[in-house]
Chain A
Amino acid sequence: MTKEKKFYLTKEGLERIKRECKDLRDLKFFKTKGEMPKIWHSEDLNPEYLSFQEDLSFLETRIAELEYIFKNAELIKVPPKEKQNIINLGAQVIVRVDDQTDEFEIVGTLEANPAIGKISNESPVGKILLGHKVGDEVIVSSPIMTTYKIKKIKYNIS
């Protein structure tokens, strides 16, 4: 049997998945009844749902995908205080790299958005930072050999 993939999500990420799943189930209900509420016709209001309005099979695929994610979701929790000096999922990290300062948040693949600093724990950099502490220097073993010096680690306690 193949091992099921775990999806690590922040509390907000999990809420977003739940909300989208509910919205899309509602949409499917209205679509099959042939009574689309006005709100779903607005292109500005729900841009990310545009494609589901036209394509019922894609809508069903997306609902199935969200249900699969939800079933295999694991909430990213803030580690106990004594472990908050170590980089784990959910950590916000300040590093020095190539004589510049950068800020990352280590998240699961579904929430990764490197353009705004959210790095996947499965990317080479995300993976190698995990388990390290302030002061550590980690080198990504690639031809470029980029060194990340960890300056600060914090967790947002919500």
Chain B
Amino acid sequence: MKELLNFFIEIGKLKKIPRTGWLLIGVKNPETIAAHTFHETIMAWILGKEKRRNFNIERILKIALIHDLCELYAGDMTPYDEILPKNKKEWPELFDKWPRFSKIKKRKITKEKHKKEWQSLVKLTAKLSPKLRKEIRSLWLDYEMGLTKEGRFVKQAGRLTTLLQALEYGKESKGRPYKSWWTGSEEIIDDPLLLKLMKAMEKKFYPIEKLKKRN
């Protein structure tokens, strides 16, 4: 029980760690990693319940709940980490564009991120029982590598949770539209139901009047 208690104390710290992307665009009191997990889990559960999808809902919930535990020691890495200018005032501008890298660079960034996060998860789960340790690590690998339809679905739901939050921050601050999250999502999302949700977001956050005004 002592080891489980320590584990619960450790993961509780995610309730206080802000997500990096929001810090970079200058959001005050941004959502934490745990708050993002809460949002993503509910979204994945409700959308994943659709009967004809035949998803294993328990697996969806578990993957959504554990997918960001790795960020406890690895931190919340973003694609922007590579290109951050020294001057912090220039950071929000970066989010007008989705960052682009060569194929080799993309593989390098992805490999390093995966390695760092895996090491963090291994450290966090090291003292758990072998059965629980294996379960958490395999669920995480599923999310990371898209091994099952549930893993692939939760990853895309996570992306939309982030897009929704970005749109809400954009609305609250009446600031930049943060194009990058939208552009990135158009290259990432391919699940038909999640594409419908993206369409609904488009209607809510970019009503026709707003688009006409812009054009």
Contact = CB atoms under 8 A, between A and B. Distances in A.
Nearest to B98: A98
Interface stretch (B25-33, B42-50, B84-92, B101-109): B101-109
Main secondary structure of the interface of B (DSSP, over half): helix
Interface stretch (A48-56, A72-80, A81-89): A48-56
Contacts, number: 102
A119 interface: yes
A113 to B, nearest CB: 7
A51 B190 contact: no
A1 interface: no
Interface residues of A, number: 41
B141 interface: yes
Nearest to B205: A143
8 contacts: A51-B138, A98-B97, A98-B100, A100-B97, A115-B109, A120-B190, A122-B190, A146-B183
Interface of B: 56, 59, 97-103, 106-107, 109-110, 131, 134-135, 137-139, 141-142, 145-149, 152, 177, 179, 182-184, 186-190, 192, 195, 202, 205-206, 211
Interface of A: 43, 47-51, 53-54, 58, 61-62, 65, 97-104, 109-110, 112-117, 119-126, 140, 142-144, 146
